[in-house]
Amino acid sequence: MKNFRLALKAAVAAFAATLASAASAAEPPLSLAQNGSFFVGGKMTEIDGRATMVGHMYVEYMVPARKTRPWPIIFVHGGLRTGANFTSTLDGKEGWAQYFARRGYAVYIVDQVGRGRSPIIEKAYGPARMGDARGVQKRYAQQEKHKLWPQAGLHAPWPGGGEMDSPWVMALSASQAVEIENFHTQQELNRDALVALVDRIGPSIILGHSQAGAFLWPVADARPAAIKAILAIEPNGPPVGAVDFVGAPDWFKYGSVALSYGVSDVPLTYSPPVKDASELKFTQQEKPDGEGLVRCFEQVEPARQLPNLRDIPTLVLTSEASYHAPYDHCTVKYLQRAGVTPTFIRLADLGIRGDSHVLMLEKNSRDIAAVIANWLAKHVPAGKKAAAR
C-alpha cells in the first residue's frame, strides 16, 4: 500500500508539472467582448407542492473581441459528460471552445438538460444513472489492451497512462456526470432546449459529440433555416439498431432498434411523410462494407427523404481507433440515401492517426479542431458580421 501511495504521489506530481508546462506555453490572453452564462428553455411545474423549473439548459458563452465569423458555434457534449469537455483538455490546454473563439467565432457551450449545471430532477425526468470509470479505461484510455472492437489496437495519442490510478484516467472519470437514464427522454428534452437556444441567439452552427449526435438532426429539422452547419463528431449511432462490442472473433453483437427514426429516436420530417416511426422500413446488410465494419441498417428502397436536412452543410468526422470507426460510415450512408450530402472525414486519411472517441481531450486535439475549422472555412463562408448575441 505504501508503494502504491508513493507511486500515485509521483504520478500526480508529474501530472501537475505537465499542467504547469502547458500553462507556460499557452497562447496570448484570449480577448473577449462578452463572457457569461444563462439558462434557456424549460417550464415551471409543480413537484411535491413546490414550483420547480424543469427542462432548462445551462449555457456558457464567449464572444471574442474580434468576431469575424457571422454564425456562432453551439457545442453539445456527449454521454455522461458536461460542457467542460470543450473548455479544457486533460493536459491543461485550452479546449475547442477557446480554439474557435480565437478564430473569430462566438461560442456557446451547454450542459445537457439534467446534466452538470442543468440540474437533474428525477421526479420530472425519471431515474438517473451514473457512469463506471472502468468504461473510461476500456473505451478511451486503454482500449488497445482490451481490444473490444477491431480498430482498438490502433490507439496512440491519449495524454497519459491508462491504468485506473493514472491521473489522466482519474481526471476523465472525475468529469463524468450523472445523467437521465432514459435516452428517449434525453432526446426530447435536449431537442426542445437546443431549439430554444437557437431561437434566442439566432442562426448558428451546431456541433455535437457522441450521444449528442441524436439531438443534432431533430434540432436542424425543426429550424432548418437557422442551422448554418452541422458538425457531427462521431455522432450517436449506428442508425436504427444498437451494437455492442464483444471482442474477437465476432467483434459485434447486434441489438434491438435504438433509433426508431433512423438517426434519432424522436420524430423527423420525412418525405413522403410518416405519422409514426413504424412506417419506416429498414433492412440490414448481409455483408459489411469492409473488414472490421458493422453491417449497416438502411431504409428499404425507395428511401424516404429528409428534406429539412438536405441543404444544410454537414460534416461527419471519425477517428482511426475509436469504437465509432466500425460504424460511422453507416450514418453517412443513411443520410446519403435520405437525400443529405454530408462530408465524411476519416482523420486517418489526413494522417491524423490513433485517436479514440474523446477527440477533444487527446494530445492532438488542436490538430483535430483545425480540421473542423478548415472544413467550416470552405463550406460556411464568413459573410456579413452578425450581432454578438
Q: Residue ranges of the alpha helices (H) in the chain?
A: 2-24, 96-102, 122-125, 133-136, 143-146, 167-174, 183-201, 213-222, 328-337, 365-379
Q: Which of 88, 210, 264, 319 is catalytic?
A: 210
Residues 6+ apart with CB under 8 A from 282: 240, 241, 257, 262, 297, 298, 299, 300
- The residue with cell 456579413 is 384
Is 210 labeled as catalytic in the residue annotation?
yes
Cβ–Cβ under 8 Å, residues 363 and 91: yes
Gap between the Cα atoms of 337 and 340, Å rounded: 7
To 10 degrees, what angle do helices 167-174 and 2-24 make? 70
Residues 6+ apart with CB under 8 A from 363: 91, 157, 158, 159
- The residue with cell 460504424 is 327
Helices (H) and strands (E) in the chain, counts: 10, 14
Using alpha carbons, select from 110, 105, 35, 17 the residue that is nearest to residue 68.
105
Active site residues: 210
